[in-house]
């Protein structure tokens, strides 16, 4: 993907590829916003506001005007735009020049049925909102069933009421009519599907029954769960019908059960593995505290906890704790790293579940979103805990996180340390 630096003077035009209904707004707020965030949805509706009275095409605007409208920086707007692109609500085109010209194409959200039937979107929504909220959302869009077996269908057919004479220019009349467009999620294939299908015996599977929709379905499932070719072959064999076709529901159930068995009952998480760019510290690293912040922000919670094990795999309970912090408590990855480091130091290198829940609740109630905020709150809590203890004549030195020390914030790095840090950053950015 080619990155492009956007300047305030760069211009843009909005093209509407959809007909936005009130129910679509509900879908965007209830299903899409928990995934892409409020900034992205706000940008989507702001772009809608630039359209003309017919809601088809906007006039030419500058990005400075967009910044003023949203009261956000271009960096924040850029991150929001990329999220809309990734989830299929927006397409972006650029004409490069001394002043770049952008075209933003708006697309409809998927219907509730399409959204929940999509394994990629439904999984990431589940992981972002938790089981209870996910069940509530599905209940909102669930259609009540009514038994009609005792009723007679007396609905009129079209030809019972209307008579139609054929039009010779019918196709011409339909040209460029306004209608709803839905954009597909673009996912890079992680499996060799042709190899997988050819590995299943003909007597078990009819290759001609394979549709483009089924191919897309298999690509998405393999992406969600990270399955290899061999794993996909075995799962497909278990999901074939007597008619030698693929039963999608059976395949999804087999994939979920297999993954949960292999990963200690934890469903896959598609949430951001590291701290979001928009919530990272922007200043350069000038001292040891900044180094620690950078480490918390650029390491996933799993990798951070794994590094504390010195190479040994995580236990089942630790994996459950990570799932709880990221999915149920909805804490950002960098904040989770601070919490893990703090609890391990305070509890003698043990993750005590009750203590983890207590600190997580504290972070959640205080709406902690950045690493710096988490570190400051942890420092404050540590000081309160020390002050609350009874004074003793002989005090045992407390084991505390290294970043709690006030001296860290002012100690400058040596030229050798700066060179090592620059090499580390270069490796990460590759």
Domains of the chain, by residue range, sit at 11-110, 193-262, 277-429
* SS3 state at 103: strand
pLDDT digits (tens, 9 = 90+) for 46-64: 999 888 766 788 889 999 9
Region 125-138: mean pLDDT is 87
Q: Could you tell me which residue, 412 or 238, shows the higher pLDDT?
A: 238
Cβ count near 394 (within 10 Å): 4
The average confidence (pLDDT) of the chain is 79
Which range of 7-21, 251-265, 302-316 scores highest in mean pLDDT? It is 7-21
Cβ count near 358 (within 10 Å): 12
Amino acid 406: pLDDT: 46
pLDDT digits (tens, 9 = 90+) for 146-203: 888 888 888 887 777 776 665 555 455 445 555 555 565 566 667 888 888 888 988 8
Amino acid 29: pLDDT: 93
Q: What architecture (CATH level 2) is domain 11-110?
A: Orthogonal Bundle (1.10)
Tokens of 71: 């009261």
Sort strands 11-16 and 101-106 into parallel, antiparallel or unpaired: parallel
Which range of 103-107, 261-265, 379-383, 404-408 scores highest in mean pLDDT? It is 103-107
Q: Could you tell me which residue, 389 or 126, shows the higher pLDDT?
A: 126
Long-range contacts of 126-134 (CB under 8 A, 24+ apart): 126/267, 127/267, 127/268, 127/269, 127/270, 127/271, 127/326, 127/327, 128/34, 128/35, 128/271, 128/327, 128/330, 129/34, 129/330, 130/327, 130/328, 130/330
Amino acid 63: pLDDT: 94
Amino acid 288: pLDDT: 84
Region 94-111: mean pLDDT is 93
Q: CA of 33: how far to CAs of 80, 83, 185, 192, 345, in Å?
A: 11, 10, 16, 33, 36
Cβ count near 206 (within 10 Å): 15
């Amino acid at each position: 993907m080619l990155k492009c630096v956007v300047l305030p003077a760069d211009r843009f035009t909005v093209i509407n590829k959809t007909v936005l209904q009130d129910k679509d707004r509900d879908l965007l707020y209830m299903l899409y916003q928990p995934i892409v965030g409020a900034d992205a949805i706000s940008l989507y509706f702001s772009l809608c506001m630039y359209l003309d009275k017919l809601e088809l095409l906007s006039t030419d605007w500058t990005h400075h005007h967009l910044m003023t409208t949203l009261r956000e920086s271009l960096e924040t707007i850029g991150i929001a735009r990329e999220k809309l692109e990734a989830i299929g609500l927006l397409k972006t085109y650029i004409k490069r020049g001394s002043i770049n010209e952008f075209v933003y194409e708006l697309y409809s959200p998927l219907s509730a049925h399409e959204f929940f039937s999509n394994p990629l979107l439904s999984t990431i929504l589940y992981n972002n909102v938790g089981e209870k909220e996910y069940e509530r959302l599905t209940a909102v869009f669930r259609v009540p069933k009514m038994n009609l077996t005792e009723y007679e269908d007396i609905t009129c057919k079209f030809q019972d009421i209307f008579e139609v004479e054929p039009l010779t220019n019918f196709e011409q009349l339909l040209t460029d009519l306004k209608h709803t467009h839905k954009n597909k999620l673009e996912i890079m294939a992680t499996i060799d599907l042709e190899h997988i299908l050819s590995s299943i015996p003909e007597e078990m599977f009819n290759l001609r029954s394979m549709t483009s929709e089924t191919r897309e379905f298999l690509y998405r499932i393999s992406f969600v769960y990270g399955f290899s070719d061999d794993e996909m072959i075995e799962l497909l064999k278990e999901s074939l019908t007597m008619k030698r076709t693929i039963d999608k529901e059976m395949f999804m159930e087999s994939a979920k059960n297999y993954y949960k068995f292999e990963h200690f009952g934890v469903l896959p998480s598609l949430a951001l593995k590291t701290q979001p760019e928009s919530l990272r510290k922007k200043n350069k690293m000038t001292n040891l505290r900044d180094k620690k912040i950078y480490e918390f922000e650029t390491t996933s919670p799993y990798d951070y906890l794994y590094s504390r094990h010195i190479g040994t795999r995580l236990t089942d309970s630790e994996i459950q704790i990570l799932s709880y912090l990221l999915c149920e408590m909805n804490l950002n990855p960098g904040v989770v790293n601070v919490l893990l480091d703090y609890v391990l130091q305070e509890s003698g290198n043990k993750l005590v579940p009750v203590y983890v829940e207590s600190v997580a609740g504290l972070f959640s109630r205080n709406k902690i979103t950045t690493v710096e905020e988490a570190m400051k709150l942890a420092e404050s809590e540590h000081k309160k805990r020390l002050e609350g203890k009874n004074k003793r004549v002989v005090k045992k030195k407390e084991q505390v996180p290294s970043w709690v020390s006030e001296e860290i914030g002012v100690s400058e790095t040596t030229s050798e340390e700066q060179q090592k840090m620059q090499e580390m950053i270069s490796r990460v950015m590759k």
